Amino acid sequence: MKSLGFNFSQVRALSGAGQQHGSVYWKKGSVQILKNASSKLPLHQSLKACFSVSNSPIWMDSSTASQCSALEKAVGGAQHLASITGSRAYERFTGNQIAKIYSQNPEVYMETERISLVSSFAASLFLGAYAPIDYSDGSGMNLLQIWKKVWSVSCLDACAPGLEEKLGCPVPSHSVLGPISPYYSQRYGFSPDCKIVAFTGDNPASLAGMRLQEGDIAISLGTSDTLFLWIQEPTPALEGHILCNPVDSQTYMALLCFKNGSLMRERIRDDCASGSWDEFSKALSSTVAGNNGNLGFYFDVMEITPEAVGIHRFNGDNQKVSDFPKEVEIRALIEGQFMAKRIHAEKLGYKVMPRTRILATGGASHNKKILQVLSDVFNAPVYTIDTANSACLGSAYRAIHGLIAEMNVSLADVVKLAPEPKLAVTPTAGAEEIYCPLLKRYAELEQKVVCNPASSCLAK
């Protein structure tokens, strides 16, 4: 941006977002190095000795099953943990990741003075000091008591000793953390008055960028697929996550995460469409809604929602088949991914209503043929915003909001002049009649492919 001539001196506030759940481990004494970083050097040179863990765990890590069981046991069971933190124990959630580091490398843990999320890590760079974790991204750790918005002592104690001190106090997501560090004003020309507003997770930032309203459903088609809703009175359950709302601390956000998103679509695109999205889209156009009853489950890696792995194809008579013609495979993948989203959103209590709007974002939301299937499966119109990078736009909105949020101004008021989402596609006539019975079949077949203790996932 500097070499493009961007005028940093005009920036009044900035915020940002990071993939949720990942964690960064700062070595004892690092805060001084961060504070005193020389503006003559790039940050990576000044900070290279600051980290006690060199490979930070990210959300795709699922190696903490034993820590998850221990956490659920320590607090009185999976539902009880969900009632406290909004989610039962998940492998990628930061508390379980920290517990693993502590149990495998206690000396590394003891050497760590601060643990940041990806979001609060990035905020720390701009602040030149350790930035607090915001309530919304903090809800993805299995550590935050989401009702009182304080760390849960029983969860902290179950994960590692002395953890509260290493996490710092969580703050409302709209908090102004302080002015930008001298490093950034000297090196890039920011005004020393530029404010840093708490950073948050990518999905919470997307909720802000899409200006989600109650009743809307947001579907992000990025590396992972996620689905999120704005809710007033959540009931945390054994499936899905409840997070504090990033733009309104009194309300909540429900989130479902599907690990087999774009990477799965890319794999089928490479196998069945010569690696071309155009060819992939043509296959969707050349096949009929409902795929003549053929449907499939495509999980190259262990899925989060539902817990299942492997590729499972069924013909119209519910018989398992080993392959489909290429075009049928492509439609089965996309229909299957969207049917799963609708079924699991409905399990969370969401109902598709006549006024339902689906707001689509993420890389695959550029693809109209994919959006058409989404619209047909949900029988609802799909909208997109000009930029598919809603997490980035949401960070800009949140930065402006942070400057005046204390005056009780809502984010909706701050961004009311921003362009409205654009209608991308509407449901095809007759889609509801096709997908109603298919959704029922998909839900029944899903029961056959999910992992449960009585059956091996891989054997099916």
Ligand X SMILES: Nc1ncnc2c1ncn2[C@@H]1O[C@H](COP(=O)(O)OP(=O)(O)O)[C@@H](O)[C@H]1O
Residue 395 lies near ligand 5SP (rule: CB under 6 A): no
Residue 132 lies near ligand X (rule: CB under 6 A): no
Contact range with ligand 5SP by CB under 6 A, out of 101-109, 217-225, 331-339, 347-355: 217-225
Tokens representing 59 are: 């959300």
What contacts 138, CB < 8 A, 6 or more positions away? 117, 144, 170, 244
Residue 60 lies near ligand X (rule: CB under 6 A): no
State the binding partner of 226 from ligand X, ligand 5SP, none, CB within 5 to 8 A by kind.
Answer: ligand 5SP
Query: What is the nearest approach in angstroms of ligand X to the Cβ of residue 363?
Result: 2
What contacts 373, CB < 8 A, 6 or more positions away? 284, 289, 331, 334, 335, 338
Sign of CA dihedral 421, 265, 241, 377: positive
Q: Which residue in the set 282, 347, 366, 441 belongs to the binding site for ligand X (CB under 6 A)?
A: 366
Report the alpha-carbon distance of residue 213 to residue 251 in Å, rounded: 12
Report the alpha-carbon distance of residue 363 to residue 223 in Å, rounded: 8
To which residue do tokens 């039962």 refer? 88
Q: What is the largest CA-CA distance in the chain?
A: 68
Query: What is the nearest approach in angstroms of ligand 5SP to the Cβ of residue 202?
Result: 5
Contact range with ligand X by CB under 6 A, out of 5-13, 46-54, 293-301, 366-374: 366-374
Whichever of 193 and 270 has its CB closer to ligand X, that residue is 270
Contact range with ligand 5SP by CB under 6 A, out of 44-52, 222-230, 318-326, 435-443: 222-230
Whichever of 21 and 342 has its CB closer to ligand 5SP, that residue is 21
- The answer to whether 374 and 230 are in contact (CB under 8 A) is no
Query: What is the nearest approach in angstroms of ligand 5SP to the Cβ of residue 246?
Result: 13
State the binding partner of 366 from ligand X, ligand 5SP, none, CB within 5 to 8 A by kind.
Answer: ligand X
Burial group, residue 288, by CB count within 10 angstroms (0-12, 13-18, 19+): exposed
Q: Binders of ligand 5SP: how many residues, by CB under 6 A?
A: 15
- The answer to whether 25 and 115 are in contact (CB under 8 A) is yes
Three-state DSSP at 230 gives strand
Report the alpha-carbon distance of residue 10 to residue 430 in Å, rounded: 52
Residues 26-85, interacting with ligand 5SP (CB under 6 A): 59
Q: Would you mind telling me the total number of residues written for the chain in this entry?
A: 460
State the binding partner of 92 from ligand X, ligand 5SP, none, CB within 5 to 8 A by kind.
Answer: ligand 5SP
State the binding partner of 363 from ligand X, ligand 5SP, none, CB within 5 to 8 A by kind.
Answer: ligand X
Helix (H) or strand (E) holding 225: strand 225-231
Contact range with ligand X by CB under 6 A, out of 150-158, 237-245, 322-330, 365-373: 365-373
State the binding partner of 367 from ligand 5SP, ligand X, none, CB within 5 to 8 A by kind.
Answer: ligand X
Whichever of 152 and 305 has its CB closer to ligand X, that residue is 305
- The answer to whether 99 and 158 are in contact (CB under 8 A) is yes
What contacts 327, CB < 8 A, 6 or more positions away? 272, 283, 286, 287
Residue 223 lies near ligand X (rule: CB under 6 A): yes
Residue 392 lies near ligand X (rule: CB under 6 A): no
Residue 362 lies near ligand X (rule: CB under 6 A): yes
What contacts 40, CB < 8 A, 6 or more positions away? 187
Q: Which residue in the set 222, 246, 296, 427 belongs to the binding site for ligand 5SP (CB under 6 A)?
A: 222
DSSP bridge pairs for 228: 218, 255
Q: Which residue in the set 15, 20, 52, 372 belongs to the binding site for ligand 5SP (CB under 6 A)?
A: 20
Residue 252 lies near ligand 5SP (rule: CB under 6 A): no
State the binding partner of 266 from ligand X, ligand 5SP, none, CB within 5 to 8 A by kind.
Answer: ligand X
DSSP 36-76: T--TTS-HHHHHTT-BS-SS---TT----HHHHHHHHHHTT
- The answer to whether 424 and 382 are in contact (CB under 8 A) is yes
How far from the centroid of its chain's Cα atoms is residue 213's Cα?
Answer: 18
Three-state DSSP at 425 gives strand
Contact range with ligand X by CB under 6 A, out of 157-165, 233-241, 262-270, 375-383: 262-270
Tokens representing 173 are: 């997501």
> Shortest CA distance to 385 belongs to which of 373, 400, 397?
397
Residue 202 lies near ligand 5SP (rule: CB under 6 A): yes
Report the alpha-carbon distance of residue 64 to residue 92 in Å, rounded: 8
Q: Which residue in the set 88, 92, 195, 312 belongs to the binding site for ligand 5SP (CB under 6 A)?
A: 92
Q: Which residue in the set 18, 201, 204, 222 belongs to the binding site for ligand X (CB under 6 A)?
A: 222
Q: Which residue in the set 46, 277, 441, 450 belongs to the binding site for ligand X (CB under 6 A)?
A: 277
- Contacts with ligand X by CB under 6 A lie at 222-223, 262, 265-266, 277, 362-364, 366-367, 370
Binding residues (CB under 6 A) for ligand 5SP: these are: 19-21, 59, 92, 140, 201-203, 222-224, 226, 255, 257
